[in-house]
Structure 1
Amino acid sequence: MRAARLPSLDALLAFDAVARAGSFEAAAAELALTPSAVAKRVAGLEERLDQPLFLRQPSRGLVLTPAGHEYLPQVRQALALLQAIPLHQRESPRRERLRISSTPTFARQLLVPALPDFTAAHPHIELELTLSVPLLAEGDAGADAEIRHGAVPTDIAPAQVLLRDRLTPLAAPALLARHGPLRRPADLLALPLLRTPLQPWSPWLRAAGLDEAAEPDDGPRFVDLGLTLAAALAGQGVALARLSLARHELAEGRLVQPFALTVPAERHYGLVRHRSGPAVEAFAGWLYHHCRSLDQPA
């Protein structure tokens, strides 16, 4: 018995789509493929059948050949039979889109590294992450939820707080090597102190007994906590940093903590929901659990 020359199902679907759409480009959009991929599938089908199925005419595009006209209803009848099989009619799980806006440093240091855990636990949720600018109050109006950095309760409510973090000076080993060891907090005043309006030095300086020390007023002013960390990593100065944001750099030895003294942050990260729904609640539950694992002891 002669073996049947069965083509692939993908090739038949491509042939049917091109016959309906009239071009590889339109069929590609329907099948979520590239035009070249559709063209290759049709060419493979024609090679297997040893028959051209389309004529390529510059003025009219793709036109069915007589063999194509004869073959098309047979293919559609076979596809209809396959589609009618009950097991083939089960709906694929519907993906729910979730748009989250976050401050840049929280996103880079805390959220993005942990996202594979969220995706594995919630494969039906398609997460889209955008960035906001905290000091300029520029967020994403279309976000379902927003990770905000601000004062409690003015900017975020107590129940929305994700992290109650602590601050301490951090510096690159190369910077400390150039300036010599830091034996007491007052030694810090001989080093460049990196400054940001998001996190003043005064709370830590007061706790260290340096009440008369003024806020630094030299050097660049960073309107982003991540930029402050980057400057510290580059050895440009000492950053007053959140331990949670710098935990990887501390573990790898790229930043060091000269003093054990820490003070509570005056501004906190919080999750503000702009919409409700299962996806928002799933993300919120996961994020609060993740942040509790990062919270530093007082």
Structure 2
Amino acid sequence: MRPLRLPSLDALLAFDAVARAGSFEAAAAELALSASAVAKRVAGLEERLDLPLFLRQPPRALSLTPAGHEYLPQVRQALALLQAMPLHQRAGPRRERLRVSSTPTFARQLIVPALPGFTAAHPHVELELTLSVPLLAEGDAGADVEIRHGAVPGDIAPEQVLLRDWLTPLAAPALLAAHAPLREPADLLALPLLRTPLQPWAPWLNAASLSDAPEPDDGPRLVDLGLVLAAALAGQGVALARLSLARHELAEGRLVQPFALTVPAERHYGVLVHRPSQAADAFARWLHTHCATLAAENSSGTG
């Protein structure tokens, strides 16, 4: 058998790069080497093959010799085979899948707008966000983390509470413009009050010295806090809303707070980690921090 004259892989890569770039300098920039190092690798390859692969022409021009033209496709075919091997491909960071179940309005109003901050800080977490049905207590059995709305303690432990929210009437400017000016809380009773089994009006009416006022019984019964906000935005009535959930609509002027009076919510949002992991713990910490910021903003505007 004829003795093998196998060149180094570095030499073959240098030869391929110089053939494409047309100079040692350009190939050096591609390979993150010095031009002299690339030239030495090519020279070593030529010495091993005992064949010139490039014609050196002044001042720095390079062109393939006939032997170089014949050798180049063979080298590229060999390099392509090596690059195609899975074990030679650099594995990216392993992505950790995280499934989060949330009540619909909390997900749309609080989680989704802030998600870029979490994904930027944890790019290797593949987050899947699903929705639950709070009134029916139907969650996602496969969720690693759950956002739950309920009583404290009971449904949620005190340390799981994300934020302690505040309730206040909110209405669309067009609805308020169509009625007599609201000078005191009792004037609100002349407007249609939106109703939902998730949040009765009694706490705010009692705080406004309107304890004799009954719960609204006209209009659709909206079994979702997001639907209540949507109805208020459409001018269908006044919503007793959580400041955190309506913060964007208030900031944009699409909803108006006619009275400064707010009352603390009796039920709260909490985060439950069902399957602890680095991703689940990171998401819970991030969500607690995000909600603490929102709670501070809400408390500064409460009356």
The answer to whether the superposition gives a TM-score over 0.5 is: yes
RMSD: 2.2
Query: Which amino acid in structure 1 is aligned with residue 82 of structure 2?
Result: L
Matches within 5 A, 1:34-53: none
Rounded Cα–Cα distance in structure 2 between residues aligned with 1:85 and 1:188: 69
Rounded Cα–Cα distance in structure 2 between residues aligned with 1:84 and 1:107: 43
2:82 is aligned to 81
Q: 1:84 to 1:171 in 2, by over 3 A?
A: closer
Structure whose CA Rg is larger: 2
Rounded Cα–Cα distance in structure 2 between residues aligned with 1:93 and 1:85: 15
1:292 is aligned to 292
1:24 is aligned to none
2:208 is aligned to 208
Q: Shift of the alpha carbon at 1:92?
A: 1.1
Q: Shift of the alpha carbon at 1:208?
A: 0.2
Q: Shift of the alpha carbon at 1:99?
A: 0.2
Query: Which amino acid in structure 1 is aligned with residue 171 of structure 2?
Result: A
Q: 1:230 to 1:84 in 2, by over 3 A?
A: closer
Rounded Cα–Cα distance in structure 2 between residues aligned with 1:137 and 1:85: 46
Equivalent pairs counted in the alignment come to 228
Rounded Cα–Cα distance in structure 2 between residues aligned with 1:81 and 1:209: 80
Q: Shift of the alpha carbon at 1:81?
A: 3.0
Give the secondary structure class of the aligned counterpart of 1:152.
coil
Query: Which amino acid in structure 2 is aligned with residue 206 of structure 1?
Result: N
Q: Shift of the alpha carbon at 1:76?
A: 7.4
Query: Which amino acid in structure 2 is aligned with residue 268 of structure 1?
Result: H
What TM-score, normalized to structure 2? 0.71
2:9 is aligned to none
Q: Shift of the alpha carbon at 1:180?
A: 1.8
Give the secondary structure class of the aligned counterpart of 1:257.
coil
Task: Show structure 2 runs of 5+ residues with no match.
Answer: 1-17, 21-73
1:130 is aligned to 130
Query: Which amino acid in structure 1 is aligned with residue 150 of structure 2?
Result: G
1:237 is aligned to 237
Give the secondary structure class of the aligned counterpart of 1:199.
coil
Q: Deviations over 1:66-104 (max 9, x none)?
A: xxxxxxx99875444336799x55421000000000000
Task: Show structure 1 runs of 5+ residues with no match.
Answer: 6-72
Rounded Cα–Cα distance in structure 2 between residues aligned with 1:97 and 1:282: 12
Give the secondary structure class of the aligned counterpart of 1:290.
helix
Contact 2:83/2:89, CA 8 A, preserved across alignment:
no
Query: Which amino acid in structure 2 is aligned with residue 99 of structure 1?
Result: R
Give % identity. 77
Give the secondary structure class of the aligned counterpart of 1:179.
coil
What TM-score, normalized to structure 1? 0.73
Matches within 5 A, 1:177-256: 177-256=177-256
1:41 is aligned to none
